């Protein structure tokens, strides 16, 4: 009987902690929105001829795009544009890049994923660039 008590306690603790662990991996969609609008949209408007709204893709299409890690028609890595290195290179002219300079690459990528998923054409709150 005594040997079951610690096992049951650990099991209960694991079940209680599981929802919180998934929240940590989800990302902060609000921070992702700021980064997308102030960094991604600014660059696309200036260099690619126009902003790309999250509603241009479905949630599945965004997931596949992010998973493929291809940007600029396959020329670049998408992860580069979320990296500390990239943010450092534009922080003098971009307030969001400067503001999020201390955020890890992985955390910011999760934030960006959360935003485009939420803002996708079939997402919870389809978003447009502004």
N- to C-terminal Cα separation, the chain: 62
Q: Which pLDDT score, from 0 to 100, does residue 57 have?
A: 94
The domain segmentation of the chain, as residue ranges, is: 28-119
- More confidently predicted of 33 and 26: 33
**Cα–Cα nearest to 62, from 87, 98, 32:** 32
Instruction: State how far the Cα of 77 lies from the Cα of 65, in Å rounded to an integer.
Output: 11
Least confident of 43-57, 72-86, 112-126: 43-57
Question: In this predicted structure, what is the pLDDT of residue 16?
Answer: 41
Is residue 83 packed enough to be buried (19+ CB in 10 Å), middle (13-18) or exposed (0-12)?
Answer: middle
pLDDT of residue 13: 40
- pTM score, two decimals? 0.76
pLDDT, tens digit (0-9, with 9 covering 90-100), for 29-59: 999 999 999 999 999 998 887 888 999 999 9
The reported pLDDT for the residue numbered 32 is 97
82-92 residue pLDDT tens: 999 999 999 99
Confidence of residue 121 (pLDDT cuts 50, 70, 90): very high
């Amino acid at each position: 009987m005594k040997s079951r008590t610690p096992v049951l306690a650990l099991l209960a603790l694991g079940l209680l902690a599981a929802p919180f662990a998934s929240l940590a991996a989800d990302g902060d969609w609000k921070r992702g929105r700021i980064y997308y609008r102030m960094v991604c949209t600014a660059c696309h408007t200036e260099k690619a001829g126009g902003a790309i709204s999250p509603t241009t893709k479905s949630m599945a299409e965004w997931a596949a795009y992010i998973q493929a890690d291809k940007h600029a028609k396959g020329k670049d890595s998408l992860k580069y544009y979320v990296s500390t290195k990239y943010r450092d290179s534009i922080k003098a002219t971009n307030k969001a890049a400067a503001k999020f300079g201390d955020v890890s690459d992985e955390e910011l990528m999760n934030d960006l994923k959360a935003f485009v998923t939420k803002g996708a054409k079939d997402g919870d709150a389809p978003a447009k660039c502004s």
